[in-house]
Amino acid sequence: MTENLRIGDVAARCGVTRDTIRFYERAGLLEATGRTPSHHRVYDSRTIEQVHFVRQLQGCGLTIGDIQQLVGLNQVDTSAASRRLMEILRFRLEFIERRIAQLEGCRGHLTDAMQRCAKARSNGYAVLRQLPDRKGIPAFSFGRRGIRH
């Protein structure tokens, strides 16, 4: 027997908001839902599994755009689809590795600044102003639209 769930039930079980569920629907990450006679969305347990899958991929650093492509590739089981899957994952992994390197550099600078602040015991803002200029390194924008592959 298929379980009929309303959007609030799905959101609560997945730990997301109703707006997140609606966004995932608009983005094509969830299958189309049925509707009640009063036009309320009706979901089944597969929706919960899919939301968890999307959240898991997001937690691994994939963007909504990446996930949209992966969902589309799931419909086709070909060697071309497998190659594209590998391209997407490789690109995202390379991005994450670059970002980790940038963050490690930032960690070193902040640790150094904290040590200098502790030694100075005052004038902490002056120490912060001595942080190296990070030109060319974007502000933290993990998974933003500006990153294309």
Domain residue limits at 22: 7-59
Most confident range, picked from 82-86, 128-132, 140-144: 82-86
Q: What is the pTM of this model?
A: 0.73
Domain CATH code at residue 45:
1.10.1660.10
- How many domains would you assign to the chain? 1
For residue 48, is it within any domain? yes
| pLDDT (tens digit per residue) in 62-79 | 999 999 999 888 777 788
For residue 126, give both structure tokens: 């002056």
| pLDDT (tens digit per residue) in 115-124 | 888 887 766 7
| pLDDT at 136 exceeding the cut of 80 | no
Amino acid letter, residue 68: Q
HEC readout, 100-135:
HHHHHHHHHHHHHHHHHHHHHCCCHHHHHHCCCCCC
